[in-house]
């Protein structure tokens, strides 16, 4: 058995803790599907007047060393990390800014030694001054896969000029998207922010050629620590493959449909585009709808679909995600929470789709 030393920093002094107990996965019985969890951090969440540049995460079980790649710090700074089995030590390699709130986030792209992955990210915040900035940006990114997916935010959005380019301008804040599609950026000052999501395969927090992205429909404002919720969507491209084998022994499925009424009680604006999204994340059907009026989907293949609504500002019949350069905002995407089951030769009627505040 090998002993290892763990360094935990406190406000008074550095304590050296020795641990020789080896955690071993239990044998027999059902497999443990509960992911390892963070049980302690140094400094603790919401600590004030921090001047130490080392942060320690302690887990309740051993984790894979890939956890080292799951840390983000905001405002963005250079840092290094070391792995200790059931501990992760993060060292900030720049001077901490005075009177600034920092947020340290452990994302979801890591696993424990049983292969379990966390559902959502864990964040602690601390301040180098006597108070904490408490503003947050929360939201959801909907897509078929959360792999390499991040959300970035630019502070002082009201001061960004027309030459702004997220392909070259590093953001102030970067956060991984949880495996359930959610994200939280905390420790923010009141002010204006520009938010977008990108599948950041090279981890540079920029939009690069070939990377999927989606830009929010407008800048948002944090007032007294709160702001509107962000909804972003990255569609799966339509499958244009012609190489798939066709089973001619089975009859082609017959279409079904659905009817209902659309109402908007949110701050959205027409024209509205309502869409059916299949289990693969692809757009199966789209129609223009109007406030308080009947709608109908016809000739839809049988299946289970989620319903979303786009504020189709340019009335081109599709969801525009925005452009990086020249910069342009995307269109507003809203999940409705409605799921439709389409059956062959059958119309599902009286479905109410309501956009809520």
Q: The domain that contains 65 carries what CATH number?
A: 2.60.40.3710
In the listed set 106, 130, 154, which residue is the last one of a domain according to the structure?
Answer: 130
In the listed set 96, 130, 164, which residue is the last one of a domain according to the structure?
Answer: 130
Q: Are residues 139 and 123 in the same domain?
A: no
> How far is Cα 273 from Cα 293, in angstroms, rounded to an integer?
13
**Does residue 109 contact residue 70 with C-beta atoms inside 8 Å?**
yes
pLDDT attached to residue 13? 35
Q: Are residues 123 and 140 in the same domain?
A: no
Asked whether residue 169 is assigned to any structural domain, the reply reads: yes
pLDDT attached to residue 18? 36
pLDDT attached to residue 132? 93
pLDDT attached to residue 244? 59
Token pair for 5: 């030393």
In the listed set 64, 99, 130, which residue is the last one of a domain according to the structure?
Answer: 130
What range defines the domain where residue 5 resides? 1-130
Per-residue pLDDT of the chain (357 residues; tens, 9 = 90+): 343 333 333 333 333 333 344 444 445 556 778 899 999 999 999 999 999 999 999 999 999 999 998 898 988 899 999 999 999 999 999 999 999 999 998 888 899 999 998 877 788 999 999 999 989 999 999 998 889 999 999 999 999 999 999 999 999 999 888 888 999 898 899 999 999 999 999 989 999 999 999 999 999 999 999 999 999 999 988 765 555 566 667 777 899 999 999 999 887 889 999 999 999 999 999 999 999 999 999 999 999 999 999 999 999 999 999 999 999 999 999 999 999 999 999 999 999 999 988
- Measuring CA to CA, which residue among 229, 228, 263, 233 is closest to residue 355? 263
> How far is Cα 154 from Cα 190, in angstroms, rounded to an integer?
13
Distance of CA 141 to the CA centre of its chain: 5
Torsion angle of the four alpha carbons 290, 296, 301, 307, in this order, in degrees rounded to the nearest 10? 40
Burial class (CB in 10 A: 0-12, 13-18, 19+), 80: exposed
CA angle, corner 221, sides to 218 and 222, nearest 5?
145
Q: Are residues 3 and 46 in the same domain?
A: yes
CATH code where residue 196 lies: 2.60.40.10
Number of domains present in the structure of the chain: 3
User: What SS3 state is found at 195?
Assistant: strand
Q: Are residues 5 and 118 in the same domain?
A: yes
Q: Are residues 28 and 72 in the same domain?
A: yes
pLDDT attached to residue 12? 35
pLDDT attached to residue 15? 34
């Amino acid at each position: 058995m090998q002993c290892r030393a763990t360094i935990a920093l406190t406000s008074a002094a550095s304590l050296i803790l020795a641990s020789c107990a080896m955690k071993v996965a239990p044998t027999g019985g059902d497999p443990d599907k509960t992911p390892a969890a963070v049980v302690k951090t140094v400094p603790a969440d919401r600590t004030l007047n921090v001047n130490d540049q080392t942060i320690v995460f302690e887990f309740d079980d051993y984790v894979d060393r890939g956890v080292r790649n799951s840390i983000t710090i905001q405002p963005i700074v250079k840092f290094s990390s070391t792995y200790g089995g059931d501990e992760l030590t993060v060292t900030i390699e720049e001077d901490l800014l005075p009177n600034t709130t920092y947020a340290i986030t452990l994302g979801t792209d890591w696993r424990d030694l049983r292969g379990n992955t966390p559902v959502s990210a864990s964040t602690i915040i601390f301040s180098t001054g006597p108070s904490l900035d408490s503003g947050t940006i929360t939201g959801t990114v909907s897509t078929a896969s959360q792999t390499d997916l991040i959300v970035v935010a630019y502070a002082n959005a009201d001061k960004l000029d027309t030459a702004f380019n997220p392909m070259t301008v590093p953001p102030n804040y970067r956060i991984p998207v949880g495996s359930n599609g959610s994200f939280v950026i905390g420790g923010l000052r009141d002010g204006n922010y520009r938010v977008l999501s990108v599948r950041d395969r090279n981890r540079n927090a920029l939009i690069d050629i070939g990377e999927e992205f989606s830009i929010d429909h407008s800048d948002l404002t944090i007032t007294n620590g709160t702001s509107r919720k962000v909804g972003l969507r990255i569609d799966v491209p339509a499958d244009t493959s012609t190489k798939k084998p066709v089973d001619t022994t089975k009859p082609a499925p017959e279409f079904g449909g659905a009817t209902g009424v659309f109402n908007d009680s949110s701050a959205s604006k027409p024209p509205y585009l309502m869409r059916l999204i299949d289990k693969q994340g692809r757009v199966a059907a789209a129609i223009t709808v109007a406030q308080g009026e009947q709608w109908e989907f016809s000739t839809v293949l049988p299946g289970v679909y989620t319903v979303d609504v786009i504020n189709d500002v340019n009335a081109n019949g599709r969801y525009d995600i925005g452009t990086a350069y020249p910069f342009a905002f995307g269109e507003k995407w809203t999940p409705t929470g409605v799921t439709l089951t389409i059956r062959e030769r059958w119309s599902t009627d009286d479905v109410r789709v309501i956009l809520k505040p």
